[in-house]
Amino acid sequence: MNMKSCFLWLCCLLLPSSVWASGYAATRYPIVLAHGMFGFNDLAGVEYWYGIPEALRAQGANVYVTQVSPLNTSVQRGEQLLAEVETILAVSGSAKVNLIGHSHGGQSIRYVAAMIPTHVASITAVGSPGLGSPVADDVLAIGKLSPALESIALGALQALGQLIALLSNNQYAVDISASLQSLSSSGAAAFNSQFPAGVPSVPCGQGASQVAGVYIFSWGGTAVSTNIFDLSDALLLTTSLAFVGQPNDGLVGRCSSHLGRVLNDSYDMNHLDEVNQLFGLHALWVNPVELYLQQANRLKNMGL
Domain borders along the chain are: 22-301
The string of pLDDT tens digits covering residues 57-114 is 999 999 999 999 999 999 999 999 999 999 999 999 999 999 999 999 999 999 999 9
What confidence tier does 9 reach under pLDDT thresholds 50, 70, 90? very low
The pLDDT of 278-294, averaged and rounded, is: 96
Q: Is 249 a catalytic residue?
A: yes
For domain 22-301, the CATH class is: alpha beta
User: Which pLDDT band, with edges at 50, 70 and 90, does 145 fall under?
Assistant: confident
- Catalytic option among 175, 230, 233, 249: 249
Identify the active-site residue in 74, 103, 179, 240. 103
Measured at the CA of 142, the angle between CA 136 and CA 147, to 5 degrees, comes to 135
271 belongs to the catalytic site: yes
Cα 165 to the center of its chain, rounded Å: 18
Contact 35, 105 (CB under 8 A): yes
pLDDT at 183: 98
Longest dimension (CA), the chain: 58
CA distance 23 to 25: 5
Alpha-carbon dihedral of residues 303, 90, 106, 232, nearest 10 degrees? 110
% helix, strand, coil for the chain, step of 5? 45, 15, 40
Report yes or no: 112 and 125 within 8 Å, Cβ to Cβ. Answer: no
For the stretch 202-242, pLDDT in tens is 999 999 999 999 999 999 999 999 999 999 999 999 999 99
Bridge pairing between strands 46-47 and 120-126:
unpaired
Instruction: Please pick, among 218, 271, 273, 282, the residue that the annotation labels catalytic.
Output: 271
Q: Is 119 a catalytic residue?
A: no
Strand, helix or coil for residue 253: strand
Mean pLDDT for 159-175 is: 95
Lowest mean pLDDT among 5-9, 71-75, 195-199: 5-9
